[in-house]
């Protein structure tokens, strides 16, 4: 039973914004269980220790490994190259998320429900994490 998780660091987000990567930077990872995911987040990446778990989801019996999940999400979103930015120190799975893609995904889901009117959607970090996990396991 694997756990797919999304984490975010405020300090790394500030750095990414300063170097032109934007402020919607998240880390996707796959761990063996919830405890392993929390331990990985506690150690931190990119020289930052302020990583927080945004969302996680337990995957049963799919045999999903981290490389496969990163490749699947990489088809839709831009991965930040850890070899180009020395601050990331070889950390795989750091993504720059385009808010337009998340908004479109939420808008389509909202349009599929007949009861709700189509209004402008304000994207929250949890919505971004759900979007990332959904695309990483699909």
Flag whether pLDDT at 117 surpasses 80. Answer: no
Flag whether pLDDT at 11 surpasses 90. Answer: yes
pLDDT at 93: 94
Mean pLDDT of 111-132: 87
Mean pLDDT of 104-110: 89
Q: State both tokens at 12.
A: 């790394």
- Greater pLDDT, 116 or 71: 71
Q: CB count, 10 Å around CB of 134?
A: 14
pLDDT at 62: 67
Beta bridge partners of 55: 6
Mean of per-residue pLDDT scores for the chain: 91
Q: Nearest-CA neighbor of 1 among 33, 36, 43, 47?
A: 33
pLDDT at 109: 86
Taking only the tens place, the pLDDT of each residue in 42-77 is 999 988 999 999 999 999 866 788 999 999 999 999
Contact residues for 105 (Cβ-Cβ < 8 A; gap 6+):
131, 134
């Amino acid at each position: 039973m694997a756990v797919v998780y999304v984490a975010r660091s405020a300090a790394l987000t500030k750095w990414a914004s300063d170097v032109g990567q934007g402020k919607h930077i998240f880390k996707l990872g796959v761990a063996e269980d919830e405890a392993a995911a929390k331990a990985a987040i506690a150690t931190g990446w990119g020289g930052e220790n302020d990583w927080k778990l945004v969302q996680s989801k337990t995957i049963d019996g799919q045999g999903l490994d981290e490389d496969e999940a990163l490749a699947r999400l990489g088809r839709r979103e831009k991965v930040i190259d850890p070899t180009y930015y020395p601050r990331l120190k070889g950390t795989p799975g750091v993504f720059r998320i385009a808010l337009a893609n998340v908004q479109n995904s939420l808008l389509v889901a909202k349009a599929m429900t007949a009861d709700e009117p189509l209004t402008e959607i304000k994207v929250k970090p949890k919505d971004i994490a759900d979007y990332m996990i959904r695309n990483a396991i699909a």
